[in-house]
């Protein structure tokens, strides 16, 4: 997984998929449409104020609720570069990896950083660091196979690469 730099958007515990992409917007599965309403259930102006590369920091059980992959699609197409949380709902974590959106576990990121602060995620050192370098949160390292999937942009691109390599 490459290094990411962006501004933090903090959310608390139990951010469910209805907060990430409210069900009333699921009448149209176009990623741009979903992205224009991302996080609307939790912070009405998020989609209009966030910038490409920004990072969501959440508490425990991020992505709970339904198994809809549109929640991840909305985040990714809005330009969110990663979600860092104390813990993730299993299906949200799996959807994130499959679709190429880093879902990273950190026990202390939520406490160490403020909303709007610029940070850098360094996958080589498994850390989330303030832009001024004064504070660092540890990120649990991803298993190598998950890191490989993320580096390829998700499960489908990863599998296409693996199949192409086998044919050669």
Nearest Cα residue to 137 out of 155, 125, 150, 154: 125
The tokens describing 57, both together, are: 């920091």
Predicted TM-score of the model (pTM): 0.94
- Total tally of structural domains belonging to the chain: 1
DSSP 120-142: EEETTTTEEEETTSS-EEE-PPP
Domain that holds residue 18: 4-167
What's the distance, CA 17 to chain centroid? 13
Region at 126 (left for phi over 0; alpha for psi -120 to 50; beta for the rest): left
**Exposure class string for 66-77: b at 16+ Cβ within 10 A, else e:** bebbbbbbbbbb
Q: What is the pLDDT of residues 13-42, one digit of tens each?
A: 999 999 999 999 999 999 999 999 999 999
Sheet (strand 82-85) strand order: 103-105, 82-85, 55-58, 4-10, 118-122, 127-130, 136-138
| CATH number where 145 lies | 3.20.19.10
Q: What is the pLDDT of residues 71-95, one digit of tens each?
A: 999 999 999 999 999 999 999 999 9
**pLDDT-derived band of residue 4, with 50, 70 and 90 as boundaries?**
confident
The tokens describing 64, both together, are: 């709970």
The tokens describing 33, both together, are: 């449409």
Determine contact, residues 114/8, Cβ cutoff 8 Å: yes
Determine contact, residues 102/82, Cβ cutoff 8 Å: yes
Q: What is the pLDDT of residues 108-126, one digit of tens each?
A: 999 999 999 999 999 888 9
Q: What is the pLDDT of residues 123-168, one digit of tens each?
A: 888 999 999 999 999 999 999 999 999 999 999 999 999 898 888 7
Q: Residue 123 has what pLDDT?
A: 81
């Amino acid at each position: 997984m490459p290094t990411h730099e962006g501004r933090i958007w903090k959310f608390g515990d139990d951010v469910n998929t209805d907060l990430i992409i409210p069900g009333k917007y699921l009448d149209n599965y176009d990623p741009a449409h979903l992205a224009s309403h991302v996080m609307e259930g939790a912070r009405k102006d998020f989609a209009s104020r966030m910038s490409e590369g920004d990072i969501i920091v959440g508490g425990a059980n991020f992505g709970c609720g339904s198994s809809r992959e549109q929640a991840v699609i909305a985040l990714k197409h809005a330009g969110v570069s990663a979600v860092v949380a104390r813990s993730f709902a299993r299906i949200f974590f799996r959807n994130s990896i499959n679709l190429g959106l880093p879902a990273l576990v950190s026990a202390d990121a939520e406490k160490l950083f403020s909303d709007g602060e610029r940070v850098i995620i360094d996958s080589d050192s498994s850390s989330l660091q303030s832009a001024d370098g004064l504070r660092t949160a540890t990120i649990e390292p991803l298993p190598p196979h998950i890191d490989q999937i993320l580096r390829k942009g998700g499960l489908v691109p990863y599998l296409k690469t693996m199949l192409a390599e086998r044919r050669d």
